[in-house]
Amino acid sequence: MVSVAILGAAGGIGQPLSLLLKLNANVSKLHLYDIVNVPGVAADISHISTNAEVKSFLGAGQLNDAVTGIDLAIIPAGVPRKPGMTRDDLFKINAGIVKTLVEAIALNSPKAFIAVISNPVNSTVPIAAEVLKSKGVFDARRLFGVTSLDVVRASRFVRDLRPDVDAAALRVPVVGGHSGNTIVPLLSLASTPISLSLEETKDLTHRIQFGGDEVVKAKDGAGSATLSMAYAGARFADSLLRAMKGESVVEPTFIALAADPEGAKEFRELGAGSLEFFA
């Protein structure tokens, strides 16, 4: 069984993500950390009739305890994107938050897997990598940027065009990064063949790349994608937990190419140059 810490558990993503991880049979201990409101979240979730033991950790003074003895840390902490905010604006705030959390993980559970949800993932994951390197505990095979929401959206948006497709079963590989044009859905490699016109492919690709804007606009200043992101994060966590048990699992994720030197060599021969991270 596995101990999981959710850092930012009282937030818009953190709460539903905590709920979904409490339902995961592979989780034996669930540590919920945040700087506000987390005792109530933990108390509420702890009443759910699954076997995972839930503990809350509140504030910077309890951060080290929150990440001691864990196997997996999931980081949704940070501010959400609001209308008019760029991912650069997000970076100025969230980079510092991620840095602090990863420093604590490096100190207390240096072998833990780390899944970063905090945006902009294209930048927060390299920040996490540099923190781990500075502490001498970086393992490229244990650090992930969670890009699963792009994959989830791709499956759902395909069904919007083709109602006969089972969105739950469909898998569309999405590579590149996790921001706008860096998101590249490989629609031609979907697990179920999909016939799309050129115009449909262009429109669908754009919608997958900028699906987050739909949610930001619809919430009218009240935040960004939280529920769908929590679902995607829980799905990625489940894939990782199953892989940790020895199951063969394929899931797109934003990683340091150092995790696969041979694969990185092929990428660079295709023209990636000095690219260090890719999904």
- The residues annotated with a catalytic role in the active site are 178
> Going by C-beta distance under 8 Å and a sequence separation of 6 or more, which residues neighbour residue 155?
167, 168, 170, 171, 172
Nearest to 139 by CA among 52, 255, 36: 255
- CA nearest 177: which of 234, 116, 113, 250? 116
**Hey, is 6 helix, strand or coil?**
strand
- Beta-bridged to residue 5, according to DSSP, are 31, 73
DSSP secondary structure letter of residue 178 = S
* Neighbouring residues of 2: CB distance < 8 A, sequence distance ≥ 6: 26, 27, 28, 29, 71, 72, 241, 244
Q: Which residue has the tokens 């009739």?
A: 49
H, E, C per residue of 58-115? ECHHHHHHHCCCCCEEEECCCCCCCCCCCHHHHHHHHHHHHHHHHHHHHHHCCCCEEE
d(CA 41, CA 43): 6
As a whole number of angstroms, the distance between CA 17 and CA 154 comes to: 20
